[in-house]
Amino acid sequence: MTAIAQGRTRRTALMGAMCALVLGLGTTGCSEDPDAGTNGVGKLTAEQIQSKTKKAAASVDAVRLAGSVVTSGKTYKVDLRLKADGGAGSVTAEGATFHLLRVGEQLYLKADAAFWTHEDGKSDDSGTDTAAADKLDGKYVKVPTGDPSYKKFSGFTDKDLLLDGLLSLQGSVQTDGHHEQAGVRTIRITGDGGSGGTLDVSLEGEPYPLRLERAGGAGTLTFSSWGKEFALKEPAKGETVDYGQQLPTS
């Protein structure tokens, strides 16, 4: 055996020993197949992965999503739990936090008095604005279906509508390697090399979406608690206020 061949043999043996040590420590850095022991989604095309993750997301009744959404020039920080017939959680925009609750078609919004005060922070001479804000402070306010706020905010609690829009990457879809999200192995797909958004899909269990970076820097969201049931019921009468046909301008 030549010296070169002997050197190559020693290097191969050394690499094998190092991989054995790494694998013994519970990592997969030396595995020849990064999809070994997974659900196999990582071996599919990007289009197939996107299709499968959409179907997986639609097949379960509940999910939690948290992060930021940028729309119409505003950034909304959200932490919501959604299911087929409604949802609940918090939304923060421009420093103000409010809570949304939708049960069936009925939507409720709860916030402090400052949220309900007119944007200029002033009340009229009779104090009407302040009185209205005080009345609504900390109460679940029924949002009339004809009010502009209903369409604006009910979308945050519509699981199917929200996910259908969020999970569609823009442009040409491609895979972008194996990654990890919250300790779970994922396969990443991108739209137009990332400018059209990126989506991490679980390689463990069902191929649920776990993390989304929206196109154009329009926010980042994480998805969890897939299929975990939670209680959803209308607030007690003492906790609600029926303001009327139209909410005050906030």
Residue 238 has a pLDDT of: 84
The pLDDT tens digits along the chain (250 residues) read 544 444 444 444 444 444 444 444 444 455 578 899 999 999 999 999 999 999 999 999 999 999 999 988 889 999 999 998 999 999 998 888 999 999 999 999 998 888 877 433 444 444 456 766 777 888 899 998 888 888 888 988 999 988 988 999 999 999 999 999 999 999 999 999 999 999 999 999 999 999 999 999 999 999 999 999 999 999 988 888 876 655 555 4
Q: What is the CB neighbour count within 10 angstroms for residue 71?
A: 13
CB-based burial label for 200 (10 Å; 0-12, 13-18, 19+): buried
Distances (CA, A) of 179 to 188, 211, 225: 7, 11, 20
pTM summary value? 0.78
Residue 175 has a pLDDT of: 97
- Chain-centroid distance of CA 77 in Å reads 10
